Structure 1
């Protein structure tokens, strides 16, 4: 059986034509320069772009040896500079030259006769305790005479008695065992109402029951 391709398949099977400006690889890496390019003269814009950039503030590497000017070598420092050039005195005004450990040092007369200000007096006062603060109790705690002579009531005696414990052996617990009270219980009207199925579900069940009863009749016939 011969199958012929359609004209559409013939059209799709054709190779794509190359672009009209396409050129194959150059035969040699040496490019030939045209005579017009050889005789061409560059414009002023080309000359401006081809000129190297110039930097007026450019400076070459400085010598590592700093040259001091004659004025700096012959100048004299002022009194202010002489004072600032002096090192600071690192003296501890509160230190004493101890000759042995724990040596007592005298108190100055000004400190002995000094009077503190009102603010110092107020800050030196100790904080007072709260009005409701209570100190810890002194042990042993004394018991009142009325508590020692008090008599317990009948109710107190009843509450102080321990709970009775059955001496009979413990029967194994069965979680599935139903108590007698639960077996004899009767459901209330509300419980019966809640246990009934919904009307729509009852209709579905009735319809399903009718279909199940009709199936055997059709099979027998």
Structure 2
């Protein structure tokens, strides 16, 4: 009887506890914790690291400092003495040359040759028009040169072809036959544009004409329609 009474009781509504601690459906709510909260104790090292650093804005260092007795009595080793020696310059090293060099007597009394005087003269170049101060262009001295026979042969202009008629004039006379000719009915039919309906007028461009449906292929077309023998497989 106790089991029947227990089963006959309605199930409790657990939705009235929206802040339940578990995502699973529980028959009973979990017991509330009444104990104290866990406390964390910092080690001495952690406490030291948590302290704020002290910054010194003004650091005054005296230019004179005391030298220790050990440094005063220190004796340098042979390797240290070797490193303390100054490096000797290279074998071919020469000191920097001064800007104002003295000229020897031979250079001061030297006489230039005709070739040196010719090279010392400035180059003469023609002055272009409307460029710089207005002055007459200086004539250039051309070196006489004679072309070879092959260059003269290549420089000869080519003659026109015997059948060359030249450029056609824009206006040319029209023959009398062309002016008096009259087009026949077939030519007028071919010259006229084809009358076709637009797409919005129920025009179907994919309709096959009656002549195309009743046409019979020629022997040549039938021959071209056959597959290649090398691509045919025998069953």
User: Aligning the two structures, in what range does the TM-score lie when normalised by the shorter sequence?
Assistant: 0.3 to 0.5
- After TM superposition, the score normalised by the length of structure 1 is 0.36
**Structure number with higher relative contact order (C-alpha < 8 Å, ≥ 6 residues apart):** 2
Q: Give TM-score scaled by structure 2 length.
A: 0.34
Which one has a larger percent helix, Structure 1 or Structure 2?
1
